[in-house]
Chain A
Amino acid sequence: MIAEKTYLMPTTVNEALSMAKANIESFTYLAGGTDVMVNRFQGNEESPCLIDITKIDDLKGVKKEGDQLRIGALEILEELKNKKEIVDEFSMLIEAALSVGAPLLRKTATIGGNVLCENRCIFYNQSEWWRDSAGLCLKCDGDICIATQGKKACFSELVSDTAPALIAMDAEIELVDENGTSTMKLEDIYTGDGVIPRNLSETAILTAILLPLNRGFKTDYYKLRERESLEFTSLTSAVAMDQNGKLKIALSGVDPKAVVVEGTTDDDKEDLIKKAVKGARAIDNDMYSRKYRREMIGIFLKRSFEKLKI
Chain B
Amino acid sequence: MEILKLIVNGKEHQVLIEPHDTLSKVLREKLQLTGTKLGCEQASCGACSVFVDGKIVQSCITPALRVNGSVITTIEGIADQNKLHKLQEKFVEKGAVQCGYCTPGMIMTTLDFLEETPKPSHEEIKEALSGNLCRCTGYKKIIEAVEAYVDDEPIAAGTPDTKFKMVGQGRPYIEAKKKVQGSADYADDIQTKNALHCKFVRSTQPHAKIEKIHTKKAQALTGVRAILTGKELPITFGVLPISQDETALAVEKTRYIGEIVVAVAADTEEIANEACNLIEVDYSPLRPYFDMKEACEDVGEDEQIHSHSKFNNNIHKKAELRFGDQQEGLENADHKVEANFDFQGISHGFTEPHAATAWWDENGLTIVTATQVPHYLHRYLAKVMEVPMNRVRVIKPYVGGGFGGKSDPFPHEIIVSHLSRVTGQPVRVRFNREEIFLTNHGRHPTTMTMKMGVSKEGKFDVLDADIIIDGGAYGSFGVVTSYYNGVLLQAPYKLDNFGFRTRRVYTNKPQCGAMRGHGAVNSRYAVETLIDRLAEKIDMDPCELRFKNFLDEKTQTVGQYRITSNGSSESLKKVMELSGWEDKFKKLPEGHGVGVACGFFISGSALPIHWNEYPQSVVHLKVDLDGRVLVTSGASDIGQGSDTMLAIIVAEILGLSLDNIFVVAADTTLTPIDLGSYSSRVTFMAGNAAKQAAERLREKVLDAVASIHEVDVSELNIENERVFSNDSKVDLTWFAAIENATRKVGALNTSGAYNSPKLGGDFKGAGAGLSPSYSFGAVITEVKVDKETGHVKVVDVWGAHDAGKALNPLAVEGQLEGSWHMGLGQALSEQMKFRDGLLLNGNLVDFKIPTTKDTPPIHTSIIETQDPEGPFGAKECGEGAIHPVIPAVANAIYDAVGVRVTSLPINSEEVLKAIKKKNEIVEKEVQEA
Among A6, A52, A230, residue most surrounded by chain B Cβ atoms (within 10 Å): A230
Which residues of B80-123 have CB atoms within 8 Å of chain A's CB atoms?
109, 112-113
Among B46, B63, B112, B274, residue most surrounded by chain A Cβ atoms (within 10 Å): B63
What is the bound-complex CA distance between A103 and B56, given in angstroms?
A: 10
What is the bound-complex CA distance between A7 and B23, given in angstroms?
A: 14
B109 in complex: contacting residue of A5, A40, A104, A299, CB < 8 Å: A104
Among A52, A101, A123, A229, residue most surrounded by chain B Cβ atoms (within 10 Å): A229
Inside 8 A of B434's CB, which chain A residues have their CB? 126-127, 129-130
Task: Write out, one digit per residue, whether chain A residues 73-110 have a CB within 8 A of any chain B CB (1) or not (0).
Answer: 00000000000000000000000000001111101100
Inside 8 A of B131's CB, which chain A residues have their CB? 101-105, 229-230
Q: Within the complex, what minimum Cβ distance (angstroms) separates A43 from chain B? A: 10
Task: Write out, one digit per residue, whether chain A residues 19-40 have a CB within 8 A of any chain B CB (1) or not (0).
Answer: 0000000000010011001101
Task: Write out, one digit per residue, whether chain B residues 839-850 have a CB within 8 A of any chain A CB (1) or not (0).
Answer: 011101110101
Q: Within the complex, what minimum Cβ distance (angstroms) separates A163 from chain B? A: 19
> Which stretch, A249-257, A260-268, A286-294, touches the partner chain B?
A286-294
State whether A227 and B19 are in contact (beta carbons under 8 Å apart), knowing that A107-B56, A129-B202 are contacts in the complex: no
Task: Write out, one digit per residue, whether chain A residues 210-251 have a CB within 8 A of any chain B CB (1) or not (0).
Answer: 000000000000001011111110000000000000000000
Contact of B19 with A229 in the complex, beta carbons under 8 Å: no
Does B908 count as interface, using CB distance less than 8 angstroms? Answer: yes
What is the bound-complex CA distance between A153 and B552, given in angstroms?
A: 65
State whether A122 and B840 are in contact (beta carbons under 8 Å apart), knowing that A37-B61, A129-B204 are contacts in the complex: yes
Does A200 count as interface, using CB distance less than 8 angstroms? Answer: no
Inside 8 A of A5's CB, which chain B residues have their CB? 18-20
Q: Within the complex, what minimum Cβ distance (angstroms) separates A140 from chain B? A: 14
Contact of A102 with B130 in the complex, beta carbons under 8 Å: yes
- In the complex, what residue of chain A is closest to B831 when comparing beta carbons? A287
Does B508 count as interface, using CB distance less than 8 angstroms? Answer: no
Contact of A299 with B22 in the complex, beta carbons under 8 Å: no
Q: Within the complex, what minimum Cβ distance (angstroms) separates B44 from chain A? A: 6
Q: How many contacts between A and B, using CB within 8 angstroms?
A: 141
Task: Write out, one digit per residue, whether chain A residues 108-142 have a CB within 8 A of any chain B CB (1) or not (0).
Answer: 10000000000000110011011011100000000
Contact of A50 with B909 in the complex, beta carbons under 8 Å: no
Does B175 count as interface, using CB distance less than 8 angstroms? Answer: no
B63 in complex: contacting residue of A7, A228, A229, CB < 8 Å: A7
Contact of B846 with A287 in the complex, beta carbons under 8 Å: yes
Contact of B838 with A130 in the complex, beta carbons under 8 Å: yes
Inside 8 A of A7's CB, which chain B residues have their CB? 2, 19-20, 63, 65-66
Contact of B851 with A229 in the complex, beta carbons under 8 Å: yes
Which residues of B182-206 have CB atoms within 8 Å of chain A's CB atoms?
202, 204-205
State whether A226 and B908 are in contact (beta carbons under 8 Å apart), knowing that A7-B20, A34-B43, A38-B43 are contacts in the complex: yes
B57 in complex: contacting residue of A108, A126, A288, A299, CB < 8 Å: A108
- In the complex, what residue of chain B is closest to A102 when comparing beta carbons? B131
Does A56 count as interface, using CB distance less than 8 angstroms? Answer: no
Does A296 count as interface, using CB distance less than 8 angstroms? Answer: yes
Q: How large is the interface on A (under 10, 10 to 19, 20 to 34, 35 or more residues)?
A: 35 or more
Inside 8 A of B20's CB, which chain A residues have their CB? 5, 7, 40, 50
Contact of A103 with B127 in the complex, beta carbons under 8 Å: yes
Inside 8 A of B909's CB, which chain A residues have their CB? 288-289, 292
Contact of B851 with A105 in the complex, beta carbons under 8 Å: no
Contact of A226 with B907 in the complex, beta carbons under 8 Å: yes
Inside 8 A of A37's CB, which chain B residues have their CB? 22, 43, 61-63
Does B633 count as interface, using CB distance less than 8 angstroms? Answer: no
- In the complex, what residue of chain B is closest to A78 when comparing beta carbons? B116
Q: Within the complex, what minimum Cβ distance (angstroms) separates B848 from chain A? A: 5
Does B55 count as interface, using CB distance less than 8 angstroms? Answer: yes
Task: Write out, one digit per residue, whether chain B residues 32-66 have a CB within 8 A of any chain A CB (1) or not (0).
Answer: 00000000011110100100000111100111011
Does A162 count as interface, using CB distance less than 8 angstroms? Answer: no
What is the bound-complex CA distance between A87 and B434, given in angstroms?
A: 40
Contact of B61 with A34 in the complex, beta carbons under 8 Å: yes
Inside 8 A of A207's CB, which chain B residues have their CB? none
Contact of B845 with A230 in the complex, beta carbons under 8 Å: yes
A9 in complex: contacting residue of B41, B65, B113, B912, CB < 8 Å: B65
Contact of A227 with B829 in the complex, beta carbons under 8 Å: yes
Does A54 count as interface, using CB distance less than 8 angstroms? Answer: yes
Does B640 count as interface, using CB distance less than 8 angstroms? Answer: no
What is the bound-complex CA distance between A296 and B853, given in angstroms?
A: 22
Contact of A41 with B42 in the complex, beta carbons under 8 Å: yes
Does B457 count as interface, using CB distance less than 8 angstroms? Answer: no
Inside 8 A of A101's CB, which chain B residues have their CB? 43, 131
Q: Within the complex, what minimum Cβ distance (angstroms) separates A152 from chain B? A: 20
Q: Within the complex, what minimum Cβ distance (angstroms) separates A41 from chain B? A: 6
Contact of B204 with A227 in the complex, beta carbons under 8 Å: no
Among A5, A50, A104, residue most surrounded by chain B Cβ atoms (within 10 Å): A104
Task: Write out, one digit per residue, whether chain B residues 444-469 have a CB within 8 A of any chain A CB (1) or not (0).
Answer: 00000000000000000000000000
- In the complex, what residue of chain A is closest to B61 when comparing beta carbons? A37
Which residues of B763-807 have CB atoms within 8 Å of chain A's CB atoms?
788-789
Does B571 count as interface, using CB distance less than 8 angstroms? Answer: no
Does B425 count as interface, using CB distance less than 8 angstroms? Answer: no
- In the complex, what residue of chain A is closest to B132 when comparing beta carbons? A104
Contact of B829 with A226 in the complex, beta carbons under 8 Å: yes
Inside 8 A of B788's CB, which chain A residues have their CB? 299, 303
Inside 8 A of B865's CB, which chain A residues have their CB? none
- In the complex, what residue of chain B is closest to A284 when comparing beta carbons? B835
- In the complex, what residue of chain B is closest to A107 when comparing beta carbons? B56
What is the bound-complex CA distance between A288 and B841, given in angstroms?
A: 12
Contact of A229 with B845 in the complex, beta carbons under 8 Å: no
What is the bound-complex CA distance between A232 and B18, given in angstroms?
A: 31
Inside 8 A of A226's CB, which chain B residues have their CB? 828-829, 848, 907-908
Inside 8 A of A287's CB, which chain B residues have their CB? 833, 841, 846, 848
What is the bound-complex CA distance between A303 and B128, given in angstroms?
A: 28
Contact of A230 with B130 in the complex, beta carbons under 8 Å: yes
Q: Within the complex, what minimum Cβ distance (angstroms) separates A155 from chain B? A: 16
Task: Write out, one digit per residue, whether chain A residues 271-300 have a CB within 8 A of any chain B CB (1) or not (0).
Answer: 000000000000000011100100110010
Inside 8 A of A33's CB, which chain B residues have their CB? 61-63, 66
Q: Within the complex, what minimum Cβ distance (angstroms) separates B565 from chain A? A: 38
Contact of A230 with B44 in the complex, beta carbons under 8 Å: yes
Does B320 count as interface, using CB distance less than 8 angstroms? Answer: no
State whether A103 and B61 are in contact (beta carbons under 8 Å apart), knowing that A226-B829, A292-B912, A296-B789 are contacts in the complex: no
Inside 8 A of A127's CB, which chain B residues have their CB? 432, 434
Q: Within the complex, what minimum Cβ distance (angstroms) separates A189 from chain B? A: 25
Contact of B840 with A230 in the complex, beta carbons under 8 Å: no
Does B854 count as interface, using CB distance less than 8 angstroms? Answer: yes
10 further A-B contacts with Cβ under 8 Å, apart from A5-B20, A130-B434, A299-B788, are A6-B19, A37-B43, A41-B61, A42-B42, A50-B63, A107-B55, A127-B432, A228-B853, A229-B131, A230-B133
Please name 23 pairs of A and B residues whose Cβ atoms are closer than 8 Å in the assembled complex, sorted by A.
Answer: A6-B19, A7-B63, A30-B63, A34-B61, A38-B43, A40-B20, A42-B42, A50-B63, A52-B63, A52-B66, A102-B130, A102-B131, A104-B131, A107-B112, A132-B204, A133-B205, A230-B130, A230-B844, A231-B845, A287-B846, A289-B909, A295-B912, A303-B788
A-B pairs with the 7 shortest C-beta distances?
Answer: A102-B131, A229-B130, A104-B131, A37-B61, A228-B853, A133-B204, A7-B19
User: Which chain A residues have a beta carbon within 8 Å of chain B's beta carbons?
Assistant: 2, 5-7, 9, 30, 33-34, 37-38, 40-42, 50, 52, 54, 101-105, 107-108, 122-123, 126-127, 129-130, 132-134, 224, 226-232, 287-289, 292, 295-296, 299, 303
